[in-house]
Amino acid sequence: MKRIIVVGSSNVDTTLHVQDFPKPGETINATGVSEAGGGKGANQAIAAAKSGAECTFISRVGDDNFGPWMIDQLSGYGVKTGHILTTPGEKTGHAYITLNAEGQNDIIIDHGANYKLTSADVEKAKDLIAQADCVVAQLETPIPATIAAFKLAKAAGKVTILNPAPAVKDLPQELLDLTDAITPNETESALLTGLPVENEADLAKNAAKLHEMGIKTVIITYGSKGSYVSAEAFTGLVPAFKVKAVDTTAAGDTFLGYFSGTVKSDFSNVQEAARFANRASSLAVQKLGAQPSIPASAEVKAADEADKK
């Protein structure tokens, strides 16, 4: 069984369901309100666990009622929660999501305890990181904690995967030098490289720039079109599966969790891992909510087999 460490955020997601997004200064009515567990780190940890990997999550929650609730949610999905720490005097991170009738969303995050994650917190998991196959991180927690995790991983000869989200224009070169694979979406990639993304040729140019920045393996997720892979074993667009999207909130997180749980340490199966992750993501967008929508491995495999018939 593959062992994955995810370093990242835990959020409570409050979703306002609307027919369409409000214009500046406009007041509209919500058609409904729902609440579920979220946060890029937590979502990716659950997706990795559901892919069949053993996943340990390093994170921080607040000392409010949501903290224990988040830990219970993660544990229920099979994530190992022994390194989720409670932060006195802080509230658990919260995401406020507006979801329109087309399944598109806008998200505003109140980071709360997520921004209290430290390098020292990561150091406590040093032995676990040394035993893992892969360490995954995003940008909803402080970058020094991610650098600490990646340093421990590289010292132990482990693979590191960075999901540079939310988008940041200038990432420290130290972090890029420690990153084996980077997985931005097209918007995040454009911000990182300074290059536009309007077609597949632009994806190739973005990937080339990210290689120049020191990243060996690049996977740019491209919404309903799929994911663009630039790696030693394969380069090209891995098409998405055509489905009717209901809620795209955890699409990218589902992709990354499944990709990290499926890809080999030498990335020799990167094309197949991306295709399988695309399939998982296509199932996630057909359901409401972030964590509740992430499919189980058996569901993804069944959909995959049905496609091959």
Q: Which of 253, 266, 304, 307 is catalytic?
A: 253
Task: Name which of 48, 49, 36 is nearest 10 in CA terms.
Answer: 36
Q: Specify the DSSP element, H or E, that contains 16.
A: strand 11-17
Among the listed residues 70, 65, 69, 62, the one whose alpha carbon sits nearest the alpha carbon of residue 39: 70
Q: How many helices (H) and strands (E) does the chain have?
A: 11, 13
Active site residue 253: yes
Q: Are 199 and 220 in contact (CB under 8 A)?
A: no
Degrees to nearest 5, angle at CA 139 with 237 and 300: 45
CA–CA gap between residue 258 and residue 48 (Å, rounded)? 5
Cα separation, 81 vs 92, whole angstroms: 15
67 Cβ contact partners less than 8 Å away, ≥ 6 residues apart: 61, 86, 92, 113
The gap from C-alpha 60 to its chain's centroid, in whole angstroms, comes to 17
C-beta separation of 97 from 28 below 8 A: no
Query: Other CB atoms closer than 10 Å to residue 89's CB: what's the count?
Result: 8
Residues with catalytic roles = 253
